[in-house]
Structure 1
Amino acid sequence: MLTAEQNRLLTDVSPGTPLNRYWKRQWIPALRSAALEPGGAPVKVELLGEHYVAFRGDNGEAGFLREACPHRGVSLALGRNENNRLTCIFHGWSFNAEGRCVKMPTEKDQGFCDKVKGQGFRVREGGAIVWVYLGEGEPPAFTDYAFTYLGREHCRPRASYNEANWLQNLETLLDSAHIGLLHADTTADKRLPQAGLQLVSGNDTPKYTLESRPYGLRSYSLRTSGGEQDYLRVTEFVAPGTAFIGTTDAEAGFVIIVVPVNNTRSLQWYVYWDTRQPIDQNLPDFALLGTDESDDNFAASRQGTPNYGQDRAAMRAGESWSGIPGVIFEDYAVAESIPIVDRTREFLGSGDLAIVRLRRELMERIRLSEAGEDCLKAEQSDYRALRALAAMIPVQTDIRVFTDRQQDERRKAFSA
Structure 2
Amino acid sequence: MLSKEENELLTRVGPGTPAGEMLRRYWWPVGFTEHVKEKGRPVRTKLLGEDLVLFRDGNGRLGLLGLHCSHRGTSLEFGRVEDRGIGCCYHGWLYDVRGRCLEQPAEPEGSTFKDRVQHPAYQAQEIGGFIFAYIGPEPAPLLPNYDLFLREDGEREVGAGHDYCNWLQRAENSVDQTHLIALHASEYPHLALKRPVIGWERRDYGAKISMQVPGISKPKFSHWIFPSHTRHTTARKGRKPDHAIRFRVPMDDTNTMTFWLRFYPYGEEDRSKPFLLKTLGFENDQAGVYERVDDGWWGVASHDQDRVAQESQGPIYDRTKEHLGASDQGVIMLRTMIKESIDAVRHGKDPVWVLRDSAQNETIGFDASMQEIGALE
TM-score band (shorter)?
Answer: 0.7 to 0.9
Residue 213 (structure 2) aligns with? 223
Residue 158 (structure 2) aligns with? 157
Contact 1:74 1:88 in 2 (8 A): yes
- How far residue 206 of structure 1 moved from its aligned partner, in angstroms, is 2.3
| Change over 3 Å in CA distance of 1:19–1:151 after alignment to 2 | farther
- How far residue 42 of structure 1 moved from its aligned partner, in angstroms, is 0.7
Report Cα offsets for 1:82-107 as digits up to 9, x if no partner: 22410112222111223222222225
| Change over 3 Å in CA distance of 1:42–1:202 after alignment to 2 | closer
Report Cα offsets for 1:394-416 as digits up to 9, x if no partner: xxxxxxxxx9xx6xxx6xx6xxx
Contact 1:203 1:223 in 2 (8 A): no
Residue 323 (structure 2) aligns with? 347
Report Cα offsets for 1:110-163 as digits up to 9, x if no partner: 544343235211111001111111012111011111233357983221111121
Identity %: 27
* Residue 387 of structure 1 pairs with residue 366 of structure 2: yes
- How far residue 164 of structure 1 moved from its aligned partner, in angstroms, is 0.9
- Report the secondary structure of 2:144's partner residue: coil
1:162 aligned partner, one-letter code: D
- Report the secondary structure of 2:317's partner residue: coil
Q: Give the Cα–Cα distance (whole angstroms) in 2 for the partners of residues 33 and 152 of structure 1.
A: 20
Q: Which has the higher helix share?
A: 1
Q: Give the Cα–Cα distance (whole angstroms) in 1 for the partners of residues 274 and 47 of structure 2.
A: 28
* Residue 295 of structure 1 pairs with residue 280 of structure 2: yes
- How far residue 47 of structure 1 moved from its aligned partner, in angstroms, is 1.3
Equivalent residue pairs, number = 362
Q: Give the Cα–Cα distance (whole angstroms) in 2 for the partners of residues 151 and 79 of structure 1.
A: 36
- Report the secondary structure of 2:121's partner residue: coil
Aligned 1:233-244 pairs, distance under 5 A: 233-244=220-231
- How far residue 383 of structure 1 moved from its aligned partner, in angstroms, is 7.0
Q: Give the Cα–Cα distance (whole angstroms) in 2 for the partners of residues 175 and 279 of structure 1.
A: 36
1:270 aligned partner, one-letter code: W
- Report the secondary structure of 1:182's partner residue: coil
* Residue 25 of structure 1 pairs with residue 25 of structure 2: yes
Report Cα offsets for 1:296-353 as digits up to 9, x if no partner: 321x1x51454x1435xx3xxxx43110111x31000111112211111111111111
Aligned 1:103-252 pairs, distance under 5 A: 103-105=103-105, 106-109=107-110, 111-149=112-150, 154-188=155-189, 201-202=191-192, 204-225=194-215, 230-247=217-234, 251-252=241-242
Q: Give the Cα–Cα distance (whole angstroms) in 2 for the partners of residues 59 and 383 of structure 1.
A: 28
Q: Give the Cα–Cα distance (whole angstroms) in 1 for the partners of residues 274 and 168 of structure 2.
A: 29
Report Cα offsets for 1:255-280 as digits up to 9, x if no partner: 11101111111101121124536799
- How far residue 53 of structure 1 moved from its aligned partner, in angstroms, is 0.5
Residue 257 (structure 2) aligns with? 267
1:36 aligned partner, one-letter code: V
* Residue 378 of structure 1 pairs with residue 355 of structure 2: yes
| Change over 3 Å in CA distance of 1:224–1:320 after alignment to 2 | closer
RMSD of equivalent CA atoms? 2.9
2:226 aligned partner, one-letter code: A
Contact 2:160 2:258 in 1 (8 A): yes
2:301 aligned partner, one-letter code: P
Q: Give the Cα–Cα distance (whole angstroms) in 1 for the partners of residues 203 and 140 of structure 2.
A: 21
Contact 1:128 1:151 in 2 (8 A): no
| Change over 3 Å in CA distance of 1:355–1:383 after alignment to 2 | farther
Contact 1:244 1:388 in 2 (8 A): no
Name structure 2 gaps, 5 residues minimum: none
Correspondence for 2:292 among 310, 313, 316: 310
- Report the secondary structure of 1:256's partner residue: strand
Report Cα offsets for 1:25-55 as digits up to 9, x if no partner: 1111001111212211111101111100011
- Report the secondary structure of 1:158's partner residue: strand
2:146 aligned partner, one-letter code: Y
1:332 aligned partner, one-letter code: R
| Change over 3 Å in CA distance of 1:202–1:331 after alignment to 2 | closer
Contact 1:252 1:279 in 2 (8 A): no
Q: Give the Cα–Cα distance (whole angstroms) in 1 for the partners of residues 153 and 117 of structure 2.
A: 37
| Change over 3 Å in CA distance of 1:109–1:238 after alignment to 2 | farther
Q: Give the Cα–Cα distance (whole angstroms) in 1 for the partners of residues 182 and 91 of structure 2.
A: 58
Contact 1:56 1:84 in 2 (8 A): no
Q: Give the Cα–Cα distance (whole angstroms) in 1 for the partners of residues 144 and 67 of structure 2.
A: 25
The normalised TM-score by structure 2 is 0.87
| Change over 3 Å in CA distance of 1:350–1:36 after alignment to 2 | same
Name structure 1 gaps, 5 residues minimum: 189-197, 284-293, 394-402
- Report the secondary structure of 1:187's partner residue: coil
2:282 aligned partner, one-letter code: N
